[in-house]
């Protein structure tokens, strides 16, 4: 059994602003936080939700009828649900004690490309978890934070020399968003990973369930992988 606290920090993007070509805002991809929260709490973790600023907004594209299963929709529409209550009372990362956590999980949404690379509070928590031998995990665009999480022993990113996954360039093209990403000067997940010295692996299909476990680093490729990524993160924690 791990000597680390069985408490997880579920990172949420604080960016909720224009992104999509039609002018829609981006923000938190709802199920990429809901599904990990459900897995972690079922596994006995205490889970805190935090963003860099203590604010958040939901990406409207993530809560459409096509994006949510019937079960997801029931949760989304129940404002008294425990997850929604936690989200409504989201914490500010810099107000938290990094040593309280044994697992860090970065949820996603395209919004993470805007704020995660400079989210010093969230990065500090992840660095503490890593330095104490804990699990760092991320799904879809959540890996935007990984190049910036430093290993205190090496001074390099924790993904340097490791294998990761995350949302694919092919997926960005399928969604007609790659041009927008380039126009805004944002760094795609694939590029950020390679620049940080990681080996990037991707699923055959952009939305196939796909995870990569490299020791204490656990990553997932897309929204359908959020549940499986959290399951793998719990399994990795249990092996500590």
What gap in Å lies between CA 143 and CA 16, rounded to an integer? 18
Q: Spell out the SS3 assignment of 190-201.
A: HHHHHHCCCEEC
- Nearest alpha-carbon partner for 237 in 9, 5, 48: 5
> Buried (b) or exposed (e) across 17-26, using 16+ Cβ within 10 A?
eebbeeeebb
Task: Judge whether 204 counts as a catalytic residue.
Answer: no
Count of C-beta atoms within a 10 Å radius of residue 55: 13
CA angle at 217 for the pair 215 and 221, rounded to the nearest 5°: 125
What gap in Å lies between CA 155 and CA 20, rounded to an integer? 36
What gap in Å lies between CA 31 and CA 87, rounded to an integer? 12
Task: Judge whether 140 counts as a catalytic residue.
Answer: yes
Give the active site residue among 110, 140, 148, 227.
140
Q: What is the CA radius of gyration of the chain?
A: 16
Give the active site residue among 16, 141, 148, 227.
141
Give the active site residue among 16, 172, 202, 227.
172
Task: Judge whether 141 counts as a catalytic residue.
Answer: yes
- Nearest alpha-carbon partner for 99 in 127, 139, 136: 127
> Which residues are part of the catalytic machinery?
140-141, 172
């Amino acid at each position: 059994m791990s000597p680390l606290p069985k408490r997880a920090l579920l990172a949420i993007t604080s960016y909720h602003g224009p992104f999509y070509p039609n002018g829609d805002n981006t923000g938190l991809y709802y199920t990429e936080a809901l599904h990990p929260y459900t897995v972690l709490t079922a596994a006995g973790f205490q889970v805190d939700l935090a963003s860099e600023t203590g604010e958040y907004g939901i990406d409207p594209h993530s809560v459409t009828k096509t994006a949510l299963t019937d079960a997801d929709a029931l949760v989304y529409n129940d404002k008294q649900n425990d997850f929604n209550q936690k989200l409504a009372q989201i914490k500010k990362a810099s107000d938290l004690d990094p040593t309280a956590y044994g697992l860090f999980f970065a949820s996603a949404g395209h919004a993470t490309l805007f704020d995660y690379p400079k989210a010093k509070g969230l990065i500090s928590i992840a660095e503490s978890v890593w330095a104490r031998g804990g699990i760092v995990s991320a799904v879809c665009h959540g890996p935007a934070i990984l190049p910036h999480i430093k290993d205190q022993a090496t001074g390099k990113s924790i993904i340097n020399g490791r294998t990761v996954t995350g949302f694919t360039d092919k997926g960005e093209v399928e969604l007609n968003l790659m041009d927008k990403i380039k126009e805004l000067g944002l760094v795609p997940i694939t590029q950020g990973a390679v620049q940080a010295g990681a080996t990037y692996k991707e699923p055959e299909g952009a939305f196939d369930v796909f995870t990569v476990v490299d020791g204490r680093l656990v990553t997932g490729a897309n929204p359908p992988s959020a549940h499986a990524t959290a399951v793998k993160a719990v399994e990795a924690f249990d092996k500590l």
